[in-house]
Every structure is written in structure tokens, then in C-alpha cells.
Structure 1
Amino acid sequence: MNYKIFSVFVIAAVAFVTITEGMSLRGLGVDLRCRCIKTESRRIGKLIESVELYPPSPHCKDTEIIATLKETKQEICLDPTAPWVKKVIEKILANKAP
């Protein structure tokens, strides 16, 4: 009987720790998966207000490039293999170089 109660307690404690740890990472702005499911490869350079570059991480093996559009403020994932996106990345990296 004591073994069953102990087992239930251990399972409940592990579940609680798992849930709260996941919630705390999400609250810190850490994504536990890739942000981009689909990417845009069409030229939309004139519509872009800003671009953020996210390098590969333990939670996502892909480099993610997220553009915010000027008028709608919508965020769109850009295809990092598209030639025009590569040029945008080069310009961003050149501006950050000392």
C-alpha cells in the first residue's frame, strides 16, 4: 500500500516539475520549437519594415529569418535559401560589423 502511494506521489511530482519548467521557459521568451513552419521566398523587400535573424539553437536546428511588414506589422518567415533573402542577410551582417 505504501509503495503505491509513494509511486503516485513521485509521478505527480515529476509531472508538476515538468509542467512548471516548461511554463517558466516560455515566460522567459524561450521557444521550445522552431518559429517558422512555412517560409516566403517571393520578393517582398519593399514591404519589409524590419528583419530579425535567429541562428540555430538547441530548440531549432534552422536559421530563422523573420520580417515584420510595414503596414500590417505582420511577421513573415523568409526562406534563408532565396537569393534576395541572402542579400538582405549580408546587408544586416555588414551593418553590424565593427
Structure 2
Amino acid sequence: MTLHLGIMDCKIAAIVCVVLLSASVIQGAAIPKGNRCLCKKISKKVNIKGLEKLEIYPRSSSCENVEYIATLKKRSVPICVSPNLKEVKALLGRKIQQYKHIEVIHHK
């Protein structure tokens, strides 16, 4: 009977060791959060005359893209715009006087 309990104790000890080791590996594993970007669709055009502000969100742990979000004066829902638009580039360069009134916000 003593020999039988000794084998059972070894099996239980082995199982406990495996569970503890696997728990530490699982706890340290990164869980992917998915793509949590603000922009799902990007507009390829924007009416610069109707633009109220442009917000720029940098890359982050939840989104690998730099995002440009435009708020229009007559539209309550902001739109995502491409940074490659000539209007956006002109606004960021501040080279055109008529765009000086448009607020540009760089989020950090």
C-alpha cells in the first residue's frame, strides 16, 4: 500500500508542476487586442472651405496608423481623411493664408 501511495504522490507532484509552469507561460503571453483604430474608412476628398478643425492622432499600441480626422462646420460627424490629400498637406504646411483659421490639433 505504501508503494502505491508513493507513485500517486509522484504523479500528483508532476501534474502540479506542469500546471504551475504552464500558468506562468500563459500569464506572460501577449493577448492581441486587434486593430482599434478610430478610422475604418478614409475619405479621398475633403471640402477645405467647410473644414473647422483637423485632429491628428499618432500611432499607438492599439493602432499602428497615424490618423487624420476632419470636423466639418455643417456636419456633426467627423470624417477620416488621407494625409496625402493636397488640402491636408497645404493645411499642415500653413502656406495658404485662407487656411489659418482652421484649428489643427496634434494629439499625443
- Do the two structures share a fold, i.e. TM-score over 0.5? yes
Moved over 4 A (4+): none
> How many percent of aligned residue pairs carry the same amino acid?
34
More relative contact order, 1 or 2 (CA 8 Å, 6+ apart)? 2
- Structure 2 runs not aligned, ≥5 long: 1-26, 28-32, 95-99
RMSD: 3.7
| Aligned residue number for residue 83 of structure 2 | 80
SS in 2 for 1:85: helix
Q: 1:33 aligns with which of 36, 44, 47?
A: 36
Aligned residue pairs: how many? Answer: 81
Question: TM-score if structure 1 supplies the norm length?
Answer: 0.56
Q: Are 1:47 and 2:50 counterparts?
A: yes
Q: Distance in 2 between matches of 1:68 and 1:43?
A: 10
Question: TM-score if structure 2 supplies the norm length?
Answer: 0.51
- Structure 1 runs not aligned, ≥5 long: 1-13, 15-21, 23-31
Q: Are 1:66 and 2:47 counterparts?
A: no
Larger Rg: 2
SS in 1 for 2:52: strand
Q: Distance in 1 between matches of 2:36 and 2:51?
A: 25
